[in-house]
Structure 1
Amino acid sequence: MSLDQAERAVGARLLHGERNWWFLGPGGVARLGDGHVTPEGSLRPGARRQLLERGLLSGGAVRSYALTVLTSTHCNLGCGYCFQNIAQDPTGGSRPPRMPRTRLTSATITSVLDFTRRQMAAVGLEKLRVLLFGGEPLLNPHGCLELLERANDIGRTSAWMISNATLLTPALARRLGDLGLDSVQVTFDGDRADHDRIRISRADGGGTYDTIVRNIARASEVSTLRWGLRVNVSQENFDGIDALVERLASQLDPARCSLYFARVGDVGIGYANDLLHSGELAATFSRWQRRALDLGFTVNRPDAHRSCSTCGHTGGRYGAVVSADGSLASCWETAGKPDWDVGSVTGGYLPDEVTKDRWIGCEDLYRYHDDGATLRTFRDSVDAALLDYLHETGRL
Structure 2
Amino acid sequence: MSIDQAVNVGLPVNIGRAPGSGPQAPAPEPLPSGARLLKSERNWWFLGPGGVARLRDRHVTPEGALLPDAERRLHESGMFAPGRISSYALTVLTSTHCNLGCGYCFQNTAQDQAGGSRPPRIGRSRLTSDTITQILGFTERQMAAAGLEKLRILLFGGEPLLNPRGCLELLERAADIAPTSAWMISNATLLTPHLARRLADLGLTSVQVTFDGDRADHDRIRVGRADGGATFDRIVGNIAGACEATALQWTLRVNVSQETFHGVDALIDRLAGALDPARCTLYFARIGDVGVGYANSLLHTGELPAAFGRWQRRALDLGFTVSRPGARKTCVTCGHTDGRYGAVVSADGTLASCWETAGKPDWEVGTVADGYQPAERTRDRWIACQDLYRYDEDARTLARFRDSVDTALLDYLHETGRL
Same fold at TM > 0.5: yes
> In the TM superposition, what whole-angstrom CA distance separates every residue of 1:76-128 from its partner, at most 9, and x where no partner exists?
00000111011211211111111100000011011001000000100101111
Root-mean-square deviation (CA, aligned residues, Å) is 1.0
The one-letter amino acid of 1:323's match is S
Aligned length: 395
Does 2:224 align with 1:201?
yes
Deviates more, 1:234-243 or 1:14-23: 14-23
| Cα displacement (A) at 1:268 | 5.4
1:192 alignment partner in structure 2: 215
In the aligned structure 1, how far is the partner of 2:177 from the partner of 2:408? 42
In the aligned structure 2, how far is the partner of 1:18 from the partner of 1:247? 33
1:8 alignment partner in structure 2: 31
The 8 Å contact of residues 28 and 63 in structure 2, kept in 1 or not, is answered as: no
Gaps of 5+ in 2: 1-24
In the aligned structure 2, how far is the partner of 1:50 from the partner of 1:367? 40
2:288 alignment partner in structure 1: 265
In the aligned structure 2, how far is the partner of 1:357 from the partner of 1:238? 36
Q: Percent identity?
A: 75
> In the TM superposition, what whole-angstrom CA distance separates every residue of 1:109-154 from its partner, at most 9, and x where no partner exists?
1100100000010010111111000000000001001111111122
In the aligned structure 1, how far is the partner of 2:167 from the partner of 2:147? 26
Gaps of 5+ in 1: none
In the aligned structure 2, how far is the partner of 1:107 from the partner of 1:135? 20
Alignment of 1:226-305 (within 5 A): 226-267=249-290, 269-305=292-328
Q: Return the match for 1:40 from 57, 63, 68.
A: 63
The one-letter amino acid of 2:109's match is I
The one-letter amino acid of 1:264's match is I
The one-letter amino acid of 1:173's match is A
State the SS of the aligned residue for 2:66. Answer: coil
| Structure 1 residues 66 and 4: alpha-carbon distance in aligned structure 2, compared to 1, 3 A threshold | farther
In the aligned structure 2, how far is the partner of 1:2 from the partner of 1:57? 18
Deviates more, 1:147-156 or 1:382-391: 147-156
The one-letter amino acid of 2:285's match is A
State the SS of the aligned residue for 1:315. Answer: coil
| Cα displacement (A) at 1:2 | 4.0
Alignment of 1:84-163 (within 5 A): 84-163=107-186
1:373 alignment partner in structure 2: 396
The one-letter amino acid of 1:186's match is V
In the aligned structure 2, how far is the partner of 1:272 from the partner of 1:8? 35
In the aligned structure 2, how far is the partner of 1:326 from the partner of 1:51? 44
The 8 Å contact of residues 174 and 180 in structure 2, kept in 1 or not, is answered as: no
| Cα displacement (A) at 1:270 | 1.4
Does 2:380 align with 1:357?
yes
Does 2:72 align with 1:49?
yes
In the aligned structure 1, how far is the partner of 2:294 from the partner of 2:284? 19
In the aligned structure 2, how far is the partner of 1:330 from the partner of 1:18? 41
In the aligned structure 2, how far is the partner of 1:146 from the partner of 1:157? 13
In the aligned structure 1, how far is the partner of 2:341 from the partner of 2:142? 8
State the SS of the aligned residue for 1:164. Answer: coil
Please report the TM-score for the alignment, with normalisation by the length of structure 1.
0.98
1:27 alignment partner in structure 2: 50
The 8 Å contact of residues 334 and 353 in structure 2, kept in 1 or not, is answered as: yes
In the aligned structure 2, how far is the partner of 1:245 from the partner of 1:190? 9
| Cα displacement (A) at 1:157 | 3.5
- Structure 1's consecutive aligned runs of 4 or more residues displaced over 6 angstroms after TM superposition are none
> In the TM superposition, what whole-angstrom CA distance separates every residue of 1:173-205 from its partner, at most 9, and x where no partner exists?
000111110000000000000000000001110
In the aligned structure 1, how far is the partner of 2:26 from the partner of 2:263? 37
| Cα displacement (A) at 1:4 | 6.9
In the aligned structure 1, how far is the partner of 2:309 from the partner of 2:381? 36
Deviates more, 1:170-179 or 1:263-272: 263-272
Does 2:204 align with 1:174?
no
The 8 Å contact of residues 81 and 268 in structure 1, kept in 2 or not, is answered as: no
The 8 Å contact of residues 18 and 385 in structure 1, kept in 2 or not, is answered as: no
Please report the TM-score for the alignment, with normalisation by the length of structure 2.
0.93
